[in-house]
A and B are shown apart, each in its own frame.
Chain A
Amino acid sequence: MTANAANETAASAQRRTGQATGVAGIAGTAGTREGTSVSLRDLTRAFGSTRALDQMSLDIAPGELVALLGPSGCGKTTALRIVAGFEYADSGAVLVDDLDVSGVPASRRDMGMVFQSYSLFPNMNALDNVAFGLRMRKVGGAGRRKRAAELLDMVGLSAQARQFPHQLSGGQQQRVALARALAIEPRVLLLDEPLSALDAKVRLQLREQIRTLQQRLGTTTLFVTHDQEEALSMADRVGVMKDGRLEQVADPSELYSRPATAFVAEFVGTMNRIPGELGTGVVTVLGVTVDVQPGGPTSGPVDALVRPENLTVAVAEGGNGIVTNRTFLGSTTRVAVLLSEDTEVLVDVSPAAAAAMTPGTAVQVALPPAPVLVAARAS
C-alpha cells in the first residue's frame, strides 16, 4: 500500500515535469526531447484459466519502435493494454523511465494511443479531436487550436480540420487519431493494430507515415500487430509472441534469418518443413547431413526448417521431386515441388531458370550445407 502510494507520487511528480516540457514544446516547434524508456517486467495476467501473459519481459529503449507480433490470442494486446493502464497485471511491473507506473491510472500516464478503429469522438470535428488532449492539459483555446492545426498539417489533413469523423475515410480517421495521440507529446506512443481496418493501399501509405513521424519526433513506441509484413517493415525490433510469452525479440533481419525457435521461423516469412533424420547435433535432410541450430528438439522425429531462397532446384531426369506449380513474384519465381506424397516444398529460383520448370517436370531439390533449425514433426 505504502509502496504503491510512493510510486504514484513519484510518477505524478515525473508527470508534472513531463507536462512542463510538453507545454514548452507547444510554444516552440515539435521539439526533440529526451526519449523515454519503457520496461515490462515479468508481466503475468490470467483471464480465468487462460494465461494471456506469462512472465513477459521486454525493454524498449528511448525513441525505439518495438512491434509485438503474434497470432490472435497470444497476449500482445493484453501487454499493450497493461502498459496503457487499461488492464492490470496479476504480477510484474511496467517501468517508465525506471519508475513503476502500475498504480497510475491511464489518464495520468501521458501515453498517446491509436486504436484499431472508431476511436475518434463523433461529436467533435477533426481539429477538436486533436485538441482534446491539450484541453485536458489546460492549454488555452488559441494555443491548442494552433497546435492542433500544426498536427493536422503534419498528417496532411489541414483541409479536413472542420470535418466530423463520419465525413472522413478510414485512413483519414486513423491519421486524425495519430495526430490526436501525438498532440499531447506523449512520453510513449501505443499503437493497437492501427492499420488492420484499412484497405491495403492506404495501409501501406499510413505505415510509412507513422514510421516517418515516429522517427522525426523520437517517440518511444510500442506497436501491436498480427501482420508480420507491417512489423518487419516498421519496427526497430520485433517481439514475436506465443501463448503469453516472448519467443524472440530481435531486429527484423535477424528475426528472419536467424529465428530462435520453430514458431518464430514459421510465423515470420515462408518456411518449408522437410522431414529429416536427427543425429547428435546434426540432421540428415534430402541426403545431406548438416549441423542443427540450437533451439529445437534433440530427439524424436523432426522436420528441418528451410526458407524457399535457401533451397536449390534444378531440372533433373529421375530427380527427387516433381514440379506442381509456379508463381511469378517479379524478381523471383516460387516453384512448388512435390518431394514425396505428403511433403511439398517451395523453392525460389530466377525467372529464367523457372522457365523450364513447367508443372510435371522432374527436378532435383538440394539443401546447401548450412546449419538448419529443426522442429518436432507435425503429425
Chain B
Amino acid sequence: MATVAGQRATAPAPGAGARRRRRRSFPAWRWVVMIVAGLYFLLPLYAALRFAGISGFKDVFTTPGFLPSLWLSVRLAFVTWLITMVIMIPTTVYVHLRMPRLRRLLETVTILPIVIPPVVLILGVLQIAPLALRATAWMLALEYVVLAMPFAYRVLDAGLRSIEVKTLTEASNSLGAGGLTTLWRVLLPNMRTAVTSATILIVALVLGEFTMASLDLQQTFPVWIVLFDQENAQVSVAASIFALVVTWLFLMLITVIATRQSRRIGGGEVTIFAVAPRETIGN
C-alpha cells in the first residue's frame, strides 16, 4: 500500500529492523545463484577491461569520430523520446477513456515492430520513405519511434491502469478543465512512474541499437564502436565498456530524478528494470 511507503520515509527504524531480519533469513542457495549469475555478467566485463588496458581507454577519447557519434546517439535518444511521448501518451489516454475495447487490438499492433526483424523493417521503410528523409538522422529517429512503440505502449498502458483515468478525467472536467489541461495537470503528474520507465527503455534502446543505424548509414555510437573493431580492437573494447557506463549513468540519472519527484507525492518507486505500481509497494 502507498501508506506503507509513506511510513517508511518517516520512520526509518522499523524498516531497518526488517532489513536486518531479511538478511539473516537469506538462505545459502540464494548466495550461490547470485554469485554464479554475477560471475556470468562480470567475468566478461573484467576480461574486456584487462584486454583494453588503460591506454585503450585513453585512446577512446582521442580517436576520431568518438564525440560526434556519441552526440548523435544522445540527440537521437532525445528526439525519439520526444516524438514517442507526444504520440503515445495522448493515444494511450484516449484509448483508455474512449475506446477501451481497442486496447487488445493496440497491444497486438504495437508488438509488430518486435516481431518483424529490423532488417525487414528498414528495407520496407526505405522503399516508401520520401527522398528528403532517406539516410538522415531524422529518418532514423522515426524508425526508432516505431521500435520504441511496443515498450512505450506497454509501460504507459500499465501506468494508466494503476490510476482511475476515467474518474480523474471526469472530476477534472466537472471542475472546468478542458482535455489538454486535464492531461497536463491531472493525468501526466500521476503517470510519472510510467513515463520515467518508458524514458529509460527508449534511451537504453537508442543508445544500444546497431542494425538500423548501420543500414541507415548513420554513425551512431554503437556503429562507431563496431567500425573501430576492424582497426584497433583495444580501443573498440574500451569504447564498449565506456558505452555501457554512459548508458548506465543515464539510466541512473533518470531513475534518481523520477524517484525523488514521485516520493514527494507518495508515488511508486522507480527502478531501472521494473516499475512497482503504487499498490504493490510494501507487500
Residues of A within 8 A of B (CB): 84-86, 105-113, 115-123, 132-133, 136-137, 164, 166-167, 177, 180-181, 184, 190
Contacts and interface: CB of A to CB of B under 8 A. Distances in A.
Contact of B189 (A105, A108, A123, A180): A123
B178 interface: yes
B198 to A, nearest CB: 18
A121 B168 contact: yes
Interface of B: 2-3, 6, 163-164, 167-168, 170-178, 181, 185-186, 189-190, 265-267, 278
Contacts of B2: 166
Contacts of A137: 176
A119 B171 contact: yes
B175 A167 contact: no
Given A118-B164, A184-B175, 19 more contacts: A84-B170, A106-B173, A106-B174, A107-B174, A110-B176, A112-B174, A113-B174, A115-B167, A117-B167, A118-B168, A119-B167, A119-B171, A121-B168, A123-B189, A123-B190, A132-B185, A136-B175, A167-B3, A181-B174
Given A122-B190, A123-B190, A107 B167 contact: no
Nearest to A81: B170
Nearest to B170: A86
A180 B175 contact: yes
A121 B171 contact: yes
Nearest to B266: A166
A167 B173 contact: no
A119 B163 CA distance: 10
A136 B177 contact: yes
Contacts of A108: 176
A107 B177 contact: yes
A152 to B, nearest CB: 16
Contact of A121 (B6, B178, B186): B186
A118 B266 CA distance: 15
Contact of B266 (A107, A121, A164): A164
B193 to A, nearest CB: 11
Contacts of A109: 174
B interface majority secondary structure: helix
A107 B173 CA distance: 5
Contacts of A84: 170, 174
Contacts of A118: 164, 167-168
Given A106-B173, A136-B175, A180-B175, A122 B3 contact: no
Contacts of A122: 163, 190, 265-267
A334 B155 CA distance: 57
Contacts of B175: 107, 112, 132-133, 136, 180-181, 184
A190 B167 CA distance: 14
Would you list the 10 A-B pairs with minimal beta carbon distance, nearest first? A133-B175, A136-B176, A123-B189, A166-B2, A113-B174, A119-B171, A106-B173, A118-B164, A107-B173, A119-B167
A119 B168 contact: yes
A166 B3 contact: yes
Contacts of B278: 166
Contact of B265 (A85, A110, A112, A123): A123
A228 B266 CA distance: 38
5 contacts: A107-B173, A113-B170, A119-B170, A122-B163, A132-B175
Contacts of B173: 85-86, 105-107
A132 B265 CA distance: 17
A112 B173 CA distance: 10
Nearest to B181: A136
Contacts of B178: 105, 107
A184 B176 contact: yes
B42 to A, nearest CB: 40
A311 B267 CA distance: 59
Contacts of A116: 167
A179 to B, nearest CB: 12
A304 B175 CA distance: 49
B78 to A, nearest CB: 25
Contacts of A120: 171
A106 B167 CA distance: 13
A323 B57 CA distance: 96
Contacts of A190: 174
A84 B178 CA distance: 14
A278 to B, nearest CB: 49
A132 B190 contact: no
A314 B240 CA distance: 96
Contacts of B171: 113, 115, 119-121, 177, 180
Contacts of B167: 115-119
Nearest to A167: B6
Nearest to A186: B174
A124 to B, nearest CB: 8
Contact of A132 (B3, B172, B189): B172
A133 B171 CA distance: 10
Contacts of B176: 107-108, 110, 133, 136-137, 184
Given A132-B175, A133-B176, A136-B175, A121 B170 contact: no
A118 B167 CA distance: 7
A110 B177 CA distance: 11
Nearest to B166: A86
B166 to A, nearest CB: 9
A119 B174 CA distance: 11
Contact of B6 (A106, A111, A166): A166
Contacts of A164: 265-266
Nearest to B189: A123
A121 B265 CA distance: 11
A180 to B, nearest CB: 7
